Amino acid sequence: MDLYQLRCFLAVAEELHFGRAARRLELMPSALGRQVQQLEESLGGRLFARTTRSVTLTEEGAALVPEAQALLATADGLAQRFRERTRTRATTLRLGAVDTAAAGLVPLLLHDFRAQHLGITVELVEDKTNRLLPRLLSGRLDLAIIRPPAEIGRQVELLPLFHESVVVAVQSGHRLARRRSVTVADLADEPLIVPDRRSRPHSHDLTTKLFAQAGLQPAIAQIAGEKQTIVGLVAAGLGVALVPRWTARMSVSGVRYVPVSVSGAEELNVLPLAAAWMRGSRDPARDAMLALLAERLPAYRSEA
């Protein structure tokens, strides 16, 4: 029996809604549906009664819930105990980070961490939040700097850090390139390059929310998956892009970054960063980095 399929089953059983369960697991509803279907096929019975309006547990599904909860609790407990036994002797900290954090926060953090903990090696993995969280849950990461999703599993603990400020990436010869700052109204007629919302919801919503706050409609001309690709498209003159300030550290020839002046942007909370780790676990190396993060947070925030 596949433990991941059981996790998917329990999420749907608790939410009784495939869409909400999918958001909770950072999956597409179709992918979640396939996992549940495969579990039903392996067990030889229907676990949910589905209509266009509702999802309910079948008798077999209701009977499986406590069994699945007990099995996953045992598996999670075993994994946690194993990690704790091995991590007490560990000299390596496995750190995940989203791209702008890897470019901006992580170098500052590692500089300070290395000064205090010379014996600990940090392995850095850079990826999107929806790929970092499964690695954290499976024990392949000890700590992750992520964009916190709207819903996150109870087994994950979060330390909110700060919200990154906003800049606009423009081609070096653009009319706005020499400005000290711009407003969203200055970008009203500009073709915009935005990331795909499914993989980068916070970065996508950065554009839509800032334009909505200004009472404007964004003129989205291009959607791209990676920030390096987005900045490359800006360099090619295909549009401009609202991005986190630390994107400016991803140097691309022919692109300038201009600060965006936005009244009330702090309340939008569009670019949050948080540290995430497994709740209830013990890890001296990870706890040392978390303590440093908490201590140095005002200084790191001033850099964002």
Average pLDDT, the chain: 87
Judged by average pLDDT, the poorest of 22-31, 212-221, 256-265 is 256-265
Tokens representing residue 222 in the block:
């291009």
Q: How confident is the model at residue 85 (pLDDT cuts 50, 70, 90)?
A: low
* pTM, full prediction: 0.64
Q: Among positive and negative, which fits the CA dihedral 21, 151, 128, 256?
A: positive
Check residue 255 and give left, alpha or beta (phi > 0: left; psi -120 to 50: alpha).
Answer: beta
Q: How confident is the model at residue 84 (pLDDT cuts 50, 70, 90)?
A: low
CA 208/CA 41 separation, integer angstroms: 41
Q: How confident is the model at residue 60 (pLDDT cuts 50, 70, 90)?
A: very high
Nearest by Cα to 26 from 206, 276, 226: 276
Measured CA distances, 48 to 25, 35, 60, 97 (Å):
18, 13, 9, 37
- For 111-149, the pLDDT digits (tens) are 999 999 988 999 999 998 988 999 998 889 999 999 988
- For 166-182, the pLDDT digits (tens) are 889 999 999 999 999 99
Measured CA distances, 76 to 3, 79, 172 (Å):
10, 5, 52
Residue 189: strand, helix, or coil: coil
CA 55/CA 52 separation, integer angstroms: 8
- Asked if 304 and 104 touch (Cβ cutoff 8 Å), the reply is yes
In this predicted structure, what is the pLDDT of residue 264? Answer: 56
Nearest by Cα to 270 from 301, 247, 231, 243: 243
- Asked if 284 and 88 touch (Cβ cutoff 8 Å), the reply is yes
One-letter amino acid of 113: F
CA 79/CA 148 separation, integer angstroms: 24
Q: What is the widest separation between alpha-carbon atoms in the chain? A: 67
Backbone angles phi, psi at 223, to 5 degrees: -115, 135
- Asked if 252 and 232 touch (Cβ cutoff 8 Å), the reply is yes
Judged by average pLDDT, the poorest of 82-86, 175-179, 217-221 is 82-86
